[in-house]
Amino acid sequence: MIDVEDVVVRYGTAIALDRVSLTVAAGEMVALIGANGAGKSTLLNALSRVVPTASGSMRIRGCFAHVPEGRQLFSDLSVDDNLRLGAFRATDRDTSWIYELMPELDGVRKRRADSLSGGQQQMVAIGRGLMARPDVIAIDEMSLGLAPKVVQSLARQLSRLNEERGLGVLLVEQSARLALSLCSKAYVLETGRLVAEGPSRELVNSHFVVSAYLGSPLEETA
Amino acid sequence: MSAFLSYLVHGIAVGCGFALIASGLIIIYRVTRVVNLAQGMFAVLAGLTASSMLDLGLPHGLAEIAATIASAAAGVILGLVAIGKRGTSPEASLIVTLGVGIFGYALEILIWGDQPRSFAGLSGLLKISDLELPKQYLLIIAVTLLVFGALEVFFERTYLGKTLSACASNPGAARLVGINVTRMGLVGFALGGALGGVAGVVLTPLTPVSYDSDMPLFVNGFAAAILAGLRRPILALAGGIGLGVAEAMVAGYAKPSYQSSLALLLAITILVVQSARRSSLHVAEQ
């Protein structure tokens, strides 16, 4: 699905990504965790060709959708318009399946996107990404600024899409706890470099990940 | 008909023309963030083209449509030059539109000479009770309402209209969902050209146009667009009509020579007030 190999991204003289390699297989849920400024969003922007790479290679097989940080909705358009615009490259622009998947949006489909709560806006952003009928979706900071209950609901929906439709997911998160509990594999990025990678069940027991990102073992707080 | 009503109807008709130019400016600005300084050129081009088409024997209606299409094509060409190169800043594009507008002078003089041209519009008066309304004025108002109605349907009901609105709302997100924002910018320029063209073909029977008629048209259209807050094209209708009526009243009750200064004065005042408000907001945020 996604194959990133030794990618370097520079902003002027600063190196934002330094020889980063990452793979997301078909139907796999992969987490990319790291602190603010680690380069997580840069990697997604490079995958979307929003920022150019200085070297390395990136291959995406199948349809790829990117849900950017901060939701980036079309604020003065309705929820339904936002969703339909997500299918710009697709031929099927029927939004009914998104409302079935996220019933919370059904009652607000005619409302302007900027009048919604943060959780609803995040659902619209994810729904807009899903409208492209992607094989893999990359979601940047899904939990940022949202109540735990809303985050749990979004996580459930993603897991359901992964199980029922085989949707590949690349979840970029500052919340390592959420990312590691949701995804089977994870990468840890620090100041543009990958410092750890492997199955989530191994990383949650790694002393480095526990001390730097979890604070306490995952099982204790689950 | 009383002088007041006469000025009012004249002001509404001319204001409709300003509104058409303003709506083109707003669409181009919203989609591309470029203030198109050559917007008046579209009206001049269409007026001159329609006069030539009519001279060649094309019937009314067809000649005006052909002139509007020519203006839309000029819009696409201007768009290609102004925003076609990836990474061109809106400020650089603005200067490009000024340059193309001046280049347009040369082309127009080459084709049509430097003398004003016009053509006959709808002649005669429509009598309603003791009111006598020039039919050309009514035609301008009817065409404008039709065009604004079509614009409303286009932006509210069509996928292309929504796509343009998406580019105006959030160009970065538009790119992420696969929209070619530059191509949509060209659609915006084509629409802007067509709207300027409609203004040109309906106003030329009232006021002959020559190569340098673009600047007064631009200033009036810009003032109407600023009155509309450079937001929705439909608001430009109110802005244009308000401006047209104000100018007609100033020309009628004061001096006609003051009329042309009014739009400029209004645009500068609004820009200064908005700028001062933004500055105070910025200070308050800090």
For chain B, the structural domain boundaries read 2-285
Q: Which of A162-166, B58-62, B121-125, B163-167 has the lowest average pLDDT?
A: B121-125
Query: In this complex, is the C-beta atom of B157 within 8 Å of any C-beta atom belonging to chain A?
Result: no
Given a cut of 90, is residue A215 above it in pLDDT?
no
Eight-state DSSP code of residue A49: T
Alpha carbon of B174: minimum distance to chain A alpha carbons (Å): 8
**Sign of the CA dihedral with B75 first, then B76, B77, and B81 last:** positive
Q: Which residues contact A86 (CB under 8 A, 6 or more apart)?
A: A65, A127, A128, A129, A130, A131, A132, B177
Question: For residue range B148-183, what is the model confidence (pLDDT) as tens digits?
Answer: 999 999 999 999 999 999 999 999 999 999 999 999
**Rounded to whole angstroms, how far apart are CA atoms A151 and A128?**
18
Pick the CATH number of B2-285 from 1.10.3470, 3.30.70, 2.60.120, 1.10.150: 1.10.3470
Per the CB < 8 Å rule, is B175 touching A73? no
Q: Which of A199, A195, A48, A93 is nearest to A213 (CA)?
A: A195
**Nearest beta carbon to residue A73 from set B165, B173, B178:** B173
Helix residue spans in chain A (DSSP H): 40-47, 79-86, 96-101, 118-130, 148-165, 176-182, 200-203, 207-209, 218-221
Overall average pLDDT of the B70-92 stretch: 94
Query: In this complex, is the C-beta atom of A78 within 8 Å of any C-beta atom belonging to chain B?
Result: no
Per the CB < 8 Å rule, is A88 touching B163? yes
Overall average pLDDT of the B110-120 stretch: 95
Question: For residue range B256-283, what is the model confidence (pLDDT) as tens digits?
Answer: 888 778 878 887 888 788 777 766 655 6
Instruction: Pick from B30, B154, B162, B235 the residue to mutate for testing the A interface (most A CBs within 10 Å).
Output: B162
Place of tokens 């004025």: B137
Per the CB < 8 Å rule, is B177 touching A88? yes
For chain A, the structural domain boundaries read 2-62+135-221, 75-133
- Considering the domain A2-62+135-221, what is its CATH architecture? 3-Layer(aba) Sandwich (3.40)
Q: Which residues in B lie closer than 8 A to residue A84 (C-beta atoms)? A: 159, 162
Give the H or E element holding residue A64: strand A64-67
Per the CB < 8 Å rule, is B174 touching A77? no
Q: Which residue of A has its CA nearest to B232?
A: A76
Question: For residue range A25-49, what is the model confidence (pLDDT) as tens digits?
Answer: 999 999 999 888 899 999 999 999 9
The chain-wide mean pLDDT, for chain A, equals: 91
Per the CB < 8 Å rule, is A77 touching B177? no
Q: Which residue of A has its CA nearest to B157?
A: A81
Q: Is A207 exposed, middle or buried (0-12, 13-18, 19+ CB in 10 A)?
A: exposed
- pTM, rounded to two decimals: 0.89
The structure tokens listed for B18 are 């300003």
Triad B95, B96, B99: Cα angle to 5°: 90
pLDDT score for A220 = 46
Report ipTM for this prediction: 0.87
Alpha carbon of A50: minimum distance to chain B alpha carbons (Å): 8
